């Protein structure tokens, strides 16, 4: 009997070894399988394009009919919500879950009242007019409503600035008598997941007094500006927040549109565009749906998210990040991504979690010629890979930089415009099916902020924080940053289902700092290090 058990144990051990070897072999074949899948998907896109064009034509005609009926039968409706904003507003309009919110926070040193904030917002933002006499931000008094399958703008019946600009009221006032940085992270998590009121424009400014950070030992005031992403992109909201409301001059710099190109690179990219377009479209579709924890219900559209929030205690000089960029001959954004990637990798190892070879990341970039007026969305997503499986931080940095292949920016802009045009004519229910099935693991958005000191209502800004809630789908992490006076803090929101341990998550700040300083102190241009490719 004992002998038979020994034989069975040996057989089981042999089977286990064979299984692990098979899994390893399958993983080693991943680049080949990936290429084959993308080629087949590209072929499918080409073959089905006639049917796709017919469907688009039919829905285009239907939408024209709906817009015409709205003008005749629904005078209470304004214009239809434009393409990009319509796409990003789906989680609000279809599920009321309000996941995709942008939160900008300004920490002020000085005396300020909620009445002053309301007056400034009324005179500097709501009353602002464009050259043709029209209000610049009419959307701030409007919300989205569904009519025959499409979203239209509708004006609030009884708009009240007092209900939009108010004291922080999502917690008992007694718990807010003295708020430190750790407690602020909990408030951020609360605000990001709060539902919006029906029939109200989805934005608010919350005032939080009695904030004490680790630098200034006296009470400061935090202004939290929360707005749904469907109302506008980061660049529009930064312009409203700083150039209009805070009246920062000169205007804050625009974020990067992507890599710069030489004339020969432009000629090559344009000449090969017809051959690459369908392949790159298939590759973007493939990478946007690849998720290492796809089985986790991270993006249940009927439930609000619960977040871990990391605010880096270090305020990293922008010149320091630029020095790392120049030392390793990479881009600014790739340095930031590599530092966060290394920090999260350490976190997973510390928590005894499986560290996958790669995560798919969707990073937002502004489209060229971003308008200087109105709230709108004018950006595109570029999907890249973060190589968590590489042990060397220098190799991770180079791999992320290579993953942001600059030739994709040409097709990325074109593909984004095509996708926006296609989705814009589809009814909301079809748009919701598509957007709710996005499954990239990480989202990222990084912005330059005010470079020179400024005053806001006689108060001195001491810090700026910028973060975004996770959209619908299987996204698990959102990484953001916004610079202030040449220094930058990072904010990382992580779904608690993605990484349950709050105690271990607190170490992420330390791990990111170690990654940045290690890259800063590493040898010049690690050209001797052979870059390993992780597709």
Instruction: Give the pLDDT of residue 292.
Output: 61
Greatest Cα-to-Cα distance within the chain, rounded to the nearest angstrom: 93
pLDDT of residue 482: 87
Strands, sheet with 142-147, edge to edge from the N-terminal-most edge strand = 77-80, 150-155, 142-147
Given a contact cutoff of 8 angstroms between Cβ atoms, the answer to whether 435 and 87 are in contact is yes
Q: Does the domain formed by 287-457+467-521 have CATH 3.30.559.30? A: yes
- The pLDDT value recorded for residue 24 is 44
The DSSP 8-state label assigned to residue 200 in this structure reads S
Q: Which residues contact 7 (CB under 8 A, 6 or more apart)?
A: none
pLDDT of residue 436: 72
The confidence score (pLDDT) of residue 22 equals 45
Give the angle subtended at the CA of 481 by the CAs of 477 and 483, to the nearest 5°: 175
Note the pLDDT of residue 25.
Answer: 45
pLDDT at 21: 46
282 closest CA partner among 411, 169, 409, 403: 411
Residue pair 254/447 in contact by the 8 Å Cβ criterion: no
| Same fold for the pair 75-245 and 287-457+467-521 | yes
pLDDT for res 139: 93
Residues in the chain: 535
Q: What is the residue extent of each domain of the chain?
A: 2-29, 75-245, 287-457+467-521
Query: DSSP letters of 365-433?
Result: EEPSS--SSSS---EEEEEEEE-TT---HHHHHHHHHHHS-THHHHHHHHHHHHHHHHHHHS-HHHHHH
Give the right CATH number for 75-245 from 3.30.559.10, 1.10.10.10, 3.40.50.720, 3.40.50.620: 3.30.559.10
Q: Please tell me what DSSP assigns to residue 474.
A: S
Which pair of tokens denotes residue 114?
Answer: 């909620």
The Cα 124–Cα 247 span in angstroms is 8
3-state secondary structure at position 505: helix
Per-residue pLDDT of the chain (535 residues; tens, 9 = 90+): 555 546 555 655 555 454 444 444 444 555 677 788 888 888 888 888 899 899 999 999 999 999 999 999 999 999 999 888 888 888 776 666 667 899 999 999 988 999 999 999 999 999 999 888 889 999 999 999 999 999 999 999 989 999 999 999 888 777 788 888 888 888 888 898 888 888 899 999 999 998 888 777 788 999 999 999 989 988 888 888 888 888 876 566 666 555 566 666 667 666 777 777 777 777 777 776 666 655 555 555 556 678 888 888 888 898 999 999 999 988 888 999 999 999 999 998 888 887 888 888 888 877 777 787 788 888 877 888 888 888 889 999 998 888 876 556 667 677 777 788 888 899 988 888 777 766 678 889 888 888 888 888 888 888 888 999 888 777 888 999 888 888 888 999 988 888 878 888 889 999 999 999 999 987 765 544 444 555 5
Residue 432 phi/psi, 5-degree rounding, is -65, -40
- Preceding omega of 250 cis (within 30 degrees of 0): yes
- Taking each helix axis from N to C end, the angle separating 273-288 and 407-425, rounded to the nearest 10 degrees, works out to 70
With a CB cutoff of 8 Å and minimum separation 6, the contacts of 334 are 325, 397, 400, 401, 404
- The model's pTM: 0.85
Distance, C-alpha 360 to centroid of its chain: 13
pLDDT at residue number 307: 84
- State whether residue 262 is helix, strand or coil: coil
Beginning with the edge strand found earlier in the chain, give each strand of the sheet holding 203-211 in spatial order. Answer: 165-167, 203-211, 220-228, 101-109, 460-468
H or E element at residue 109: strand 101-109
């Amino acid at each position: 009997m004992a002998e038979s058990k020994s034989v069975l144990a040996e057989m089981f051990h042999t089977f286990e070894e064979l299984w692990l070897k098979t899994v390893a072999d399958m993983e080693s074949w991943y680049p080949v399988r990936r290429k084959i899948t993308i080629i087949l998907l590209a072929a499918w896109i080409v073959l089905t394009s006639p049917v796709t064009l017919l469907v688009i034509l039919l829905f285009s005609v239907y939408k024209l009919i709906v817009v015409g009926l709205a003008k005749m039968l629904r005078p209470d409706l304004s214009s239809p919500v434009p393409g990009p904003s319509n796409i990003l507003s789906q989680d609000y309009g279809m599920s009321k879950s309000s996941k995709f919110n942008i939160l900008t926070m300004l920490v002020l040193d000085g005396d300020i009242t909620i009445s002053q904030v309301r007056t400034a917002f009324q005179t500097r933002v709501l009353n602002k007019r464009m050259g043709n006499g029209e209000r610049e931000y009419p959307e701030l008094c409007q919300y989205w409503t569904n009519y025959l399958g499409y979203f239209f703008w509708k004006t609030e019946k009884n708009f009240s600035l007092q209900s939009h600009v108010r004291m922080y009221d999502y917690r008992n006032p007694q718990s807010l008598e003295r708020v430190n940085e750790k407690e602020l992270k909990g408030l951020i998590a609360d605000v990001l997941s709060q539902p919006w009121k029906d029939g109200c424009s989805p934005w608010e400014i919350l005032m939080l007094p009695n904030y004490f950070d680790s630098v200034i030992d006296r009470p400061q005031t935090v202004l939290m500006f929360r707005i749904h992403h469907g109302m506008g992109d980061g660049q529009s909201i930064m312009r409203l927040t700083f150039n209009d409301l805070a009246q920062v001059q000169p205007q804050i710099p625009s974020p990067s549109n992507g890599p710069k190109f030489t004339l020969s690179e432009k000629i090559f990219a344009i000449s090969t565009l017809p051959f690459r377009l369908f392949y790159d479209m298939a590759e973007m579709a493939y990478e946007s749906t690849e998720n290492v924890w796809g089985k986790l219900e991270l993006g249940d559209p009927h439930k609000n998210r619960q977040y871990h929030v990391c605010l880096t205690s270090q305020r990293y000089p922008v010149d320091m990040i630029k020095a790392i960029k120049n030392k390793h001959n990479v881009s600014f954004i790739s340095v930031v991504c590599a530092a966060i990637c290394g920090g999260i990798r350490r976190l997973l190892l510390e928590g005894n979690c499986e560290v996958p070879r790669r995560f798919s990341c969707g990073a937002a970039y502004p489209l060229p010629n971003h308008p200087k007026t109105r709230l709108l969305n004018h950006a595109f997503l570029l999907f890249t890979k973060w190589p968590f499986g590489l042990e060397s931080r220098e190799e991770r940095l180079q791999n992320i930089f290579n993953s942001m292949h600059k030739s994709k920016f040409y097709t990325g802009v074109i593909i984004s415009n095509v996708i926006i045009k296609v989705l814009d004519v589809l009814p909301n229910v079809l748009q919701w099916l598509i957007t709710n099935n996005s499954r990239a693991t990480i989202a990222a958005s990084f912005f330059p902020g005010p470079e020179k000191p400024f005053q806001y209502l006689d108060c001195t800004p001491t810090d700026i924080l910028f973060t975004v809630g996770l959209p619908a789908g299987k996204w698990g992490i959102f990484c953001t940053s916004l610079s202030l006076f040449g220094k930058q803090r990072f904010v990382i929101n992580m779904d608690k289902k993605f990484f349950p341990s709050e105690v271990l998550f607190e170490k992420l700040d330390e791990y990111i700092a170690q990654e940045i300083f290690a890259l800063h102190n590493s040898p010049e241009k690690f050209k001797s290090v052979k870059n390993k490719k992780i597709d």
